[in-house]
Amino acid sequence: MNLKIAVLAGDGIGPEITEQAIKVINAVCQKNNHIPQYTYALTGATAIDQVGDPYPEETHRVCMEADAVLFGAIGDPRFDNNPKAKTRPEKGLLAMRQKLGLFANIRPVSTFKSLLHKSPLKQELVEGADFVAIRELTGGIYFGRPQGRSEDGNTAYDSCVYHRFEIERIAKLAFEFALKRRRKLTLVDKANVLATSRLWRETVQEMAPQYPDVEMEYMFVDNAAMQIIQGPKRFDVIVTENMFGDILTDEASVITGSLGLLPSASIGLHTSVFEPIHGSYPQAAGKNIANPVATILSAALMFEYAFNLPAEAEMIRKAVDASLEEGVVTEDVNKENPSSTSEVGDWLTDFIQNKF
């Protein structure tokens, strides 16, 4: 099977972590007689520097022609709080989501047995935690219009806008995920205050009778933020709007003990994108210390969702579990005896080549 993969390494640690994921993808493909075909394209600050656009048209063409996109990270401190910057790297991410129609971001949150002691939460709270957060990705306040500032600069405004069809398509996906898991779905909103949240709740309540086997729960976002920390095991599938999902999934990431361990998939109308949930971590760029596991697990999601190859995805997950058990981890997980970024990639590649 030929696998056409667009590689958007991006900024900061992006090139290093995607390089390790490609090693692992190659090992899995070699074992299973697949042929990966990579096309590299510019994005983020790197693209601004070279062509003046964080998501160039050529990059979009490469993504549209691929079966899947392996994405590294976007962001550069040169553009942070810089009023002279004509554009920002992060605008490339928003443009990619919009142009590819990536309306759903899927973030699995689960603990690793060998790393339970690394979580800032008590072990009895997090052991066995396993839920999926499904975040609407192309609507809401990040894309709402009008948006701007007054002429005197003393007033700023953003608009949160949602249409019923946007809510229906993400809710349908969430119900389907729940049916494949433990059959419980939690809608997170702020329906006691926000008109958009009331539309979310009304729409999901209308859809719920179509899924009688799914237990439906409704929760305000402030309560959800507390419950994710107090009792993460109560959740199975969470669905929510763009900004709430952005905040809650970053909060949920601490359950595992490191941001460097959590993958994500963004799916929608065109080519799906697979990326780690963390940022570009510019302080670590080029030092060979960043954790590549989230990107490698994102490659596992790619095999599962983009190529419908669940056995290949499971090979990667088993290799990652083995590396954590063996203590082959980067400094964010073990400061006393860390492995480098490339050493983790090499270990996982070797494990796949020799243990399956």
Kindly list the catalytic residues: 142, 190, 222, 246, 250
Bridge partner residues of 110 (DSSP): 130
Let me know: does 92 contact 55? Beta carbons within 8 Å.
yes
Let me know: does 338 contact 289? Beta carbons within 8 Å.
yes
User: What is the spatial distance between Cα 272 and Cα 153, in angstroms, rounded to a whole number?
Assistant: 39
* DSSP notation for 138-155: SSGGGT-SS-EE-TTSS-
User: What is the spatial distance between Cα 44 and Cα 52, in angstroms, rounded to a whole number?
Assistant: 10
Amino acid at 53: D
* DSSP notation for 265-329: EEESSS-EEEEESS---GGGTTSS-S--HHHHHHHHHIIIIIS--HHHHHHHHHHHHHHHHHT--
Residues 114/348/10/88 CA torsion (nearest 10 deg): 0
345 exposed, middle or buried (CB, 10 Å; 0-12, 13-18, 19+)?
buried
Residue with tokens 């980067």: 330
The 8-class DSSP code of residue 33 comes to: T
